[in-house]
Structure 1
Amino acid sequence: MTSHPLRLLLPAVACVSLLGCGEDDVVTQAPRPALVVQPFVAVAGSESYPGEVRARLEPPLAFRIPGKVSKRLVEEGQRVKANQPLAELDPQDVRLQLQANRAQVAAAQANLALVGAERDRYQKLLDRQMVSRSQYDNAENLYRAGLARLSQAKAEFDVAGNQADYAVLRAPQDGVIARRQIEVGQVVAAGQTVFNLAVDGEREVQISLPEQQYARFAIGQPVSVELWSQPNARYEGCIRELSPAADPQSRTFAARIAFAGQAPAQLGQSARVFIGAGSTTTLSLPLAAVSAEQGQRYVWRVTPQNRLQRVNVQLGAYGSDSVPVLEGIAAGDWIVAAGGHVLREGQQVRPVDRSNRTVDLAGKE
């Protein structure tokens, strides 16, 4: 019975001892390691854009009259010569119209012969003073009207003849059928595009520029082009044309790249266009080094005293594994490469490289 108070006293003494230790000893936490990198230098404006080799001239071809397609004489991708027939419309209606106009010409000729003979007869009677001058003038007016009607009928006959020729669509120049948009039996309207012709001659590369970077480019800006079939060759060129309006679906701006010289580019080939390569340089960082908060992008810079400093930055176009930094950092800065979302301003860190070796930033300054 005497040991019971002693058993209660021992835990209390132990607790007091532990509290005393917490007050005397200050527990210090070691700085956490932080993987750091320095910005690497890249050529400014070296963005690349995929494109397709196109013909410089690609006129849409259409019938000049409406009708039903009776024949399609070429296929997509087929090479054609100038004046070669491409498609035909059902000629029945235009032939009937041509026959009607031919009959009108014959009727106008017969009417002219009649009123001409009538005028000649009135001329003789007028010479004998057997008819009045007004009667002769009336006959003369009928003759002139007959002449005008014949002229009109001949013009309508010529138009009908042209309409018959328009029933056959012909290639205006040598080239390749880039696109076909009709089938036999289809009814087309006048002016409706039925073929796209890629005219022989100069070749260009068509690319699409993102909306946020459109203002950086201008007509005449030098570029270089790499064809997928020749990955080790670059061909100089320039921006020849920039679309003034964005595509309503992709929200990108179309651009045409002209080659500065001869290039072995074939229609439909894939290409990559490098725009803005020059002597100016920019700094780039790994994508994981960049964080964002409320629309503001920033990085963590490590000071020579191994403390973190938040720096707002302005970025360029994102790449697959890196991003150019246009403003905010210098070439000699050390930047935390990853894990920026768990860091805080002024935090003490231990800089390490990718081999987990401590980096002496003060010594490298």
Structure 2
Amino acid sequence: MPSGLTRRPAWLAGTVVLSLLLLAACGKKAPEVDQVVPVIALPVQAVDGVSAGRFPGEIHARYEMPLSFRVAGQLTQRYVNPGDLVKKGQALAQLDPTDAGNQLAAAKAALEAAEHRLLFATQQRDRDDAQSKQNLISRLQLEQTQDAYASALAARDQAKQQFELAQNQSRYTTLIADHDGAITSRQADVGQVLAAGQAVFGFAWSGEREAYLDVPESRIDGIVVGQAAKITVPALPGRAFDARVREISPAADPQSRTYLVKLTVDQPASLLQLGMTADVILQSGKSSTVAISIPATALFHQNEHPAVWVVRPADTTLELRPVTIARYGERDVLIASGLQAGERVVMQGVHTVSIGEKVAPIAPPHPEDAPQ
């Protein structure tokens, strides 16, 4: 070593090395804490596993029909309006009665004339019959008298029928309610000339209520006449009504390609107002099988097998659990096995999570997105 250079102490070299190690340690990031991911997850509920389908519906009366006059004429008065409740025998509308009154008067006059001719023919028959017994008239004259009497009797009967018909025609100028019910629509205005049978009002009978469903052709095979159902309406929360399928349309609607299904409510339900929206669950049998209903957005697939994301209650991590499907619906899926009521399941965003991920369950931002 040259004499001009001073030897560095060993402690100084050790200090330099230690400093370098400390600097390297400061450059490393601190270990990351497990990140909690918020997910929309809710407890699932058990439902009746025999449900054949859930459909939106609308409340109707058992009997709905147009009301019309039996005769033609000009509408002069309307006594009711849509929404009015009417009683059996109540007058609803009136046609101009002039023509019907003239026909009634003419029929009455014709009947009186026919009765007078019959009275004369009867008297003539009685006289000729007495004279014939005394051989005062010929047999031919008696037969002619009897023929005249028979013709007069037939003419009187015909005139009587015409008079009764004219009476009916006169009564038909007033539209009468033949049942208690409600006016649902107005289809003719005052001053309008109506043909016989042309609709004036829409009318719904009081009493029995029905629910109308539009069922897609892919699901109509699972519905039969007499099938049981449960009906709920948003306007009556907490109330459920038993019903049965009464009629299934034999042909699909040409525009919507759906089949009209009518269900009759078992018990009279005055609370069910016409036009209310309904939620109808059709039952497919008498079994008490219980299943789990989840929205279709909660279904995931592990390879080719259906599965759902379940939040473990112990550590709020995710588990991908295989399930067995009982039925696919339009908006929901019925799970036959693999889930228990009360377990928390991811309802939305199933393709953005992974196994073992720690999550924070939250409710849907919109209440209507929660499963019913």
TM bracket (short chain): 0.5 to 0.7
Q: Extract unaligned runs of 5+ from structure 2.
A: 1-40, 309-324, 341-348, 361-372
1:279 aligns with 2:289: yes
Q: Distance in 2 between matches of 1:128 and 1:261?
A: 77
Identity in percent: 32
Matched position secondary structure for 1:212? coil
Q: Is the 8 A contact 2:229 2:242 kept in 1?
A: yes
Instruction: Tell me which of 237, 240, 243 is aligned to 2:242.
Output: 237
> What does residue range 17-96 of structure 1 map to in structure 2 within 5 Å?
43=47, 44=49, 45=51, 47-96=53-102
**TM-score, normalised to structure 1's length?**
0.65
Structure 1: give runs of 5+ residues left out of the alignment.
1-36, 292-296, 303-312, 340-349, 357-365
Q: Secondary structure at the match of 1:146?
A: helix
Give the letter for the 2:272 counterpart. Answer: A
Q: Distance in 1 between matches of 2:330 and 2:277?
A: 22
State how far apart, in whole Å, the 2-side matches of 1:118 and 1:143 are.
8
Instruction: Determine the structure 1 residue equivalent to 2:274.
Output: 267
Query: Is 1:222–1:238's contact at 8 Å kept on the other side of the alignment?
Result: yes
Superposed CA RMSD in Å reads: 4.2
Amino acid paired to 1:273 = V
Counterpart check, 1:156 vs 2:162: yes
Q: Deviations over 1:80-125 (max 9, x none)?
A: 1110001122222222221221121122123224434443554465
Q: Please give the TM-score of this superposition, normalised by the length of structure 2.
A: 0.64
Partner of 1:105: 111
CA distance in 2, matches of 1:301, 1:285: 13
Partner of 1:171: 177
CA distance in 2, matches of 1:152, 1:261: 48
Q: 1:289 deviation in Å?
A: 6.2
Which amino acid counterpart does residue 108 of structure 2 have in structure 1? R
CA drift of 1:255 comes to: 2.1
Q: CA deviation at 1:138?
A: 0.8
SS of the equivalent of 1:249 reads: coil
Residue type at the aligned position of 1:91: P
Name the CA distance, whole Å, in 2 between partners of 1:244 and 1:130: 77
Q: 1:127 to 1:323 in 2, by over 3 A?
A: closer
Q: Deviations over 1:134-171 (max 9, x none)?
A: 11221121122112211211121111111111111111
Judge conservation of contact 1:67–1:90 (CA < 8 Å) in 2. yes
Give the conservation status (yes or no) of the 8 Å contact 1:224–1:234.
Answer: no
Q: Would you say the 8 A contact 1:55–1:267 is kept in 2?
A: yes
- Amino acid across the alignment from 2:243: C
Match of 1:141 in 2: 147
1:281–1:181 CA distance, 2 compared to 1 (3 A) = same
Once the two structures are superposed, residues 178-208 of structure 1 have per-residue CA deviations (whole angstroms, 9 ceiling, x without a partner) of 2332222333333344333322223333332
- Contact between 2:107 and 2:163, CA under 8 Å: does it hold in 1? yes
